[in-house]
Amino acid sequence: MAANINANDIPIAYAMIAAARRVWPRRDGHHPYQQYFFLWTAFASIYEALAERQGLKPELKRREDGSVVTRRVGSVNIPEITGIDEQDRIAAAIQVFEPALKHSLLAHESTHYFAYRFPYFQGVPIEKDALGQRLNGVINLRSTVDEQYPVWSPVDIEYFERYLRDPAVLENTDFLVTQIVGLLHTVRMNLLAHSDRFDDSNDLSVVKHALPLLELIVDSYTR
């Protein structure tokens, strides 16, 4: 199994994969939403395990004298910890992605889809922002407050086309894989955002193209 991760360490991942496989296609085509949440939960279990193997795990906060820092909650004292940011855990997982997985992600048709699509915000596609930049990938709906200055998860066109010309350049590969995983995370967060318009938060095509990329990652650690 990839990165020497033990199957016994990620039982939740296997349970979520099994749940995703039990979701049958519905007539309205909305089943990818359910599958995406199941598989992201599986990936979360995986990147937690991988990050812990690299020493990224919460620790007790201590004072200079070694005593544990606590906070008062009602009538009890609760220890405080130094947390690890989710993005740091995800980054730790990406560091141990196998080369075959990285190339599978970059060669997949879904990556091409995200590299050349125009994302939607409040029902309107945005081709360029106020800085003159061509948009692609997906809009981050929780962070975007102005359509002229959108926050988005891109697939860098220059890096991507450079990769297509020469897949052997590791700098391009690693950078792009980090962007792809960041985009998948944004898709997950967008699904939690309420939108009553056609948008990146409910675009079925976005989820359908993101899902196989997420499956590639999860499958590489659970096959």
- pLDDT, tens digit, 9 for 90 and up, residues 12-60: 999 999 999 888 766 665 678 899 999 999 999 999 999 988 888 889 9
Please report the pLDDT score of residue 187 as a whole number.
Answer: 95
- Identify whether 71 is part of a domain: no
- The span from the CA of 90 to the CA of 84, in Å, is 10
pLDDT tens by residue, 200-223: 877 889 999 999 999 999 999 997
What's the total number of domains in the chain? 1
- The span from the CA of 122 to the CA of 195, in Å, is 8
pLDDT tens by residue, 124-174: 899 999 999 999 999 999 899 999 999 999 999 999 999 999 998 888 899
- Identify whether 113 is part of a domain: yes
In eight-state DSSP terms, residue 74 is T
Position 155, amino acid:
V
* Residue 108 belongs to domain spanning: 2-57+85-222
Q: Please compute the mean of the pLDDT values over residues 175-186 and round it to a whole number.
A: 97
- Identify whether 69 is part of a domain: no
Instruction: Report yes or no: 71 and 80 within 8 Å, Cβ to Cβ.
Output: yes
- Identify whether 204 is part of a domain: yes
pTM of this prediction? 0.89
Q: Which helix (H) or strand (E) holds 120?
A: strand 120-121
